Each structure stands twice: as C-alpha cells, then as structure tokens.
Amino acid sequence: MKTNTPQKSGHRPTPTQNETLWLLYCRPGFEQDCAQEALQQARRLRPVTVIEQPAIVPDSGYVQLTLNGQDLHYRELIFTRQLLRLHVVLQNLPERDRLTPILTALNDVQGEFGVLWLEVPDTNDGKMMTAFTRRFQPLIEEALLAQGKLSLASVPVAVGEQKPSRLHLFFPDKSTVFIASSDPYNSANALMGIIRQSMPAEAPSRSTLKLAEAIEVFLDKSEQTRLLRTGMRAVDLGAAPGGWTWQLVKRGIRVTAVDNGPMKGVLAKHPLVEHLKQDGFKYVPPRAVDWLVCDMVEKPDKVANLIGDWFAAERVKHAIFNLKLPMKQRVAALDSALGSIRKKLDDAGLSYRLTAKQLYHDREEITVYLTRTKRG
C-alpha cells in the first residue's frame, strides 16, 4: 500500500509554535475535495494558511495538512469524516516490535487520554488490517495504562463535565503509524468517523441506510425523540421504492410518497403511506408538513432551488436531502447549491440551521439537514 508521510524515514518532529498539523479521514477518492474545503475554512480564519502543501495520496481515505496555527471546525467540514490533531508519524516500524517505538514517541505527546482507538483507512487494503489492530489493541492499552497515558475511565461523564480526549493510532499499513488525538467536542464520536447501520429486513432498498445514518449524525437523541414523533406528517420526493419513506413510517410518521415509480414491499399498501404518482419538482402539499426528505438523482442546483422554495414558502419545518455531486469542481458545486438555499431563506427573513456531511453510506453525493429555528 502506498503511503505519503511528511518524511521518508524516522518520525515527524513536534510542530513548531506557528504550525498545526492535522489528519483528516474522508471517503476514498475525495481526498482533494477534503483538503480543498479544509484550506478554504482555514483561510477564512487567517489569510496566510499553508506552511506545507497538503499530503494527498489518491484513494487513500485520508489527508495531512500543515497549517499556520489555524484551528479547523469539524461540524463545518462536509467531506471530513474525522478531524485529528497529528503529533507524530512513525515509519519503518519493526515487524517484531512495533510497541517500543510507539511508546517512545508517545513520551513526547502531552496529556492523558480516556479512549484509545486503533484505526485503518476505509479501503480494501485497510480492511485487511483489522485483524492486526484487534490483536495489537490490548497490548498497546496495557502499556499505556502502565505508562499513565491512558485512563480508560468506565464511569460515564456527568453532565457539564469535560469529556476526556481520545488517542488515535492510525495505521495506513503495518509498518507506519500516525499518532494523533481528537477533541470529543470537535470530532466524530465513532471509530474511523463511521456510524455504521444494519440493513433492516423490511426496508425496500439499501438507500434506507443513508437516512438512518443522517438521523444519527444530525440529530442527538433528544432531538430524535422531539422532532420525529408519531402523528407527524412528511413528504418524500422521489420516494420509490421507499427506502427513505420506511425510516419515517417506522417512527409512526404519515408520509406522502411522491414518485412516478412504484413503492415496494410493506410500503405498497401501508396505512401511513399515501403514494402520489407525480413529478416531485411540481408537487405542492395542500398544507404545511413537518418533514421533507428527498433523494432524487438531479443536479445539485436544481434540488437546492426546490428545497429553498419549500422553506421560503413555509411549507415545511425540517428537511433531510441529498445533493448529487458532479465529477469535477465538487466543492464549487456545493458552495453554489448551498449558497442558493441560504440566499432564499435570508431573503425570506427566516431563521434556520443548515448542516451538511458526506456520510459513510453516501456515494457521489452529500447529505444536508435543514431546519427552521426560532429567532433570538
């Protein structure tokens, strides 16, 4: 497996006072988009951004950035699955004793950590190393506990109490490790940044996993209880065969499924589903609904205009929708699509929250959550 590390041998020295080193996980094939978006965010914070050019290996599933002291904000990064502070990169680890050089390098990493995650790239080669990380995990945990670097506190963190930082050992291959850490308030709370879902037996298509993941990513448990309640009403544009409708129906929500294609399985004659064979771009509900979901295969600007119109006309309170990505200029296309939504809602004088992420179950697309909020 190819790797691209800051130096050809040894380790990356501790960053200077003006440097911040970052390790970002992303979907393989989207490394350039991940780096471009992160650099745009950094430049908004401080014009002089790049100390070194991003270290990018195509289809690797990760990016290294060296910035001019800027922080990055995970929740505002669409293509970043996980955001880590990078401390050291060790190469040429001896096969018979990987533990000793890792422990030695950790002596220079400040702080105590409450969680240890051993991670690999989300690639075919990376998946083949999961057996290795499972075997290595208890060895490194035992050594770090003895060293005082790891606490592994079993008591849940009380409300208002600071969550402990996480220590990440990222192995792009068995002879290389990136030693990094994450702030639990500025990162994904899942191994490798991936919230995995199980395919429900009754769901009519695997697209149901995208909406299930979106709900977990964008809504905390209290919001899920409050905003996805029995008796609410929703519209699913481009619903067939019903993967997204199924996620709403199983929560007791009545769904108007708009699509010229057929609904399948249990949704074909479900009492909570009204199937209208209409064009999703022309449909207008007779009265406002609680939710709009949309997974239509259309250009991102076209879908963005549709969503913006629904909110500007106050037809809906909350929405989750996908924007399909072009082959090139993905970041620019998203900036345009999301910018058009913001402009319509700003012009309408609405208060709102808009969050977007490329989810694990997304492909050439990103998922957006949009909700109206109270003023003040």
Report, as residue numbers or ranges, the catalytic residues.
324
Structure tokens at 60: 């690797």
Tokens of 58: 């195509």
CA gap 214, 73 in Å, rounded = 19
Rounded-to-integer distance, Cα 314 and Cα 337, Å: 19
- Strand pairing class (20-25; 273-276): unpaired
Q: Kindly give, in sequence order, each residue whose CB lies less than 8 Å from that of residue 160, ignoring residues fewer than 6 positions away.
A: none
- Give the per-residue SS3 of the chain: CCCCCCCCCCECCCCCCCCEEEEEECCCCCHHHHHHHHHHHHHHHCCCCEEEEEEECCCCCEEEEEECCCCCCHHHCCCCCEEEEEEEEECCCCCCCCHHHHHHHHCCCCCCECEEEEECCCCHHHHCCHHHHHHHHHHHHHHHHHHCCECCCCCCCCCCCCCCCEEEEEEEECCEEEEEEECCCCCCCCHHHCCCCCCCCCCCCCCHHHHHHHHHHHCCHHHHHHHCCCCCEEEEECCCCCHHHHHHHCCCCEEEEECCCCCCHHHCCCCCEEEECCCCCCCCCCCCEEEEEECCCCCHHHHHHHHHHHHHCCCEEEEEEEEECCCCCHHHHHHHHHHHHHHHHHHCCCCEEEEEECCCCCCCEEEEEEEECCCC
CA-based nearest residue to 257, from 233, 230, 231: 233
